[in-house]
A and B are shown apart, each in its own frame.
Chain A
Amino acid sequence: DADVTQTPRNRITKTGKRIMLECSQTKGHDRMYWYRQDPGLGLRLIYYSFDVKDINKGEISDGYSVSRQAQAKFSLSLESAIPNQTALYFCATSVPGQEPETQYFGPGTRLLVL
């Protein structure tokens, strides 16, 4: 089984709809991240969480919210989806204090907002 899983893997939705992307990990890592990937822009950080009680905004958090339900679960919500949120979304995990602090990525969720 994969260490970091994302559901759904693909999603098509309409403008204005609420959508949730879920991430689960079995690595036991404290830190979790949400990124989005757009062509020509690389990956950009949306939100990150150091533990269940610690959630922080990243570079592009507007229009998104997150929930850390447990150490192993970190969900990303689009409250009212818009077309420019069409992207490939990645969840990642890492463990602090480990050098290097490598991030391990899930397989990604392809989201299309019509």
Chain B
Amino acid sequence: AQKITQTQPGMFVQEKEAVTLDCTYDTSDPSYGLFWYKQPSSGEMIFLIYQGSYDQQNATEGRYSLNFQKARKSANLVISASQLGDSAMYFCAMREGAGGTSYGKLTFGQGTILTVHP
């Protein structure tokens, strides 16, 4: 069974508008972390934002925020005020287990290609 599911192969958004990229996950571990990475056309993987399973508040990093709904097992990425440079592939990933004991392994979703139109 897929541990991380990104159901949107592609998304389009108008410049300056907000967009939500969906991510659902599956784990029975009470301690886990959720990550979002951006992969521009150049190929590198850029860390964007992190949400821990015990975090009480949704994570935010500049224009990025994570809409964490634990009961629904979803961790959607919200990008506000989209810019042309946001056009990229976005990956959701999960690490099961807490920090030092988790072995750090990440399980990735399939990715969503975001295209920002001017």
> Do they bind each other?
yes
Report the Cα distance A108→B45, complex, angstroms.
9
| Chain A interface main SS type | strand
**What's the tally of chain A residues with a CB closer than 8 Å to chain B?**
30
**What's the tally of chain B residues with a CB closer than 8 Å to chain A?**
27
A65-73, A75-83, A91-99: which lies at the interface: A91-99
Task: Name A's B-contacting residues (CB within 8 A).
Answer: 31, 33, 35, 40-45, 48, 50, 56, 58, 88, 90, 92, 94, 96-105, 107-108, 110
Task: Name B's A-contacting residues (CB within 8 A).
Answer: 4, 9, 33, 35, 37, 43-45, 47, 50, 52, 91, 93, 95, 98-100, 102-111
* Interchain Cβ contacts under 8 Å between A and B, 28 examples: A31-B104, A33-B104, A40-B9, A42-B4, A42-B109, A42-B110, A43-B45, A43-B108, A45-B105, A45-B106, A48-B104, A96-B104, A97-B100, A99-B52, A99-B98, A99-B99, A100-B50, A100-B99, A101-B33, A101-B95, A101-B100, A102-B47, A103-B47, A104-B47, A105-B37, A108-B43, A108-B44, A110-B43
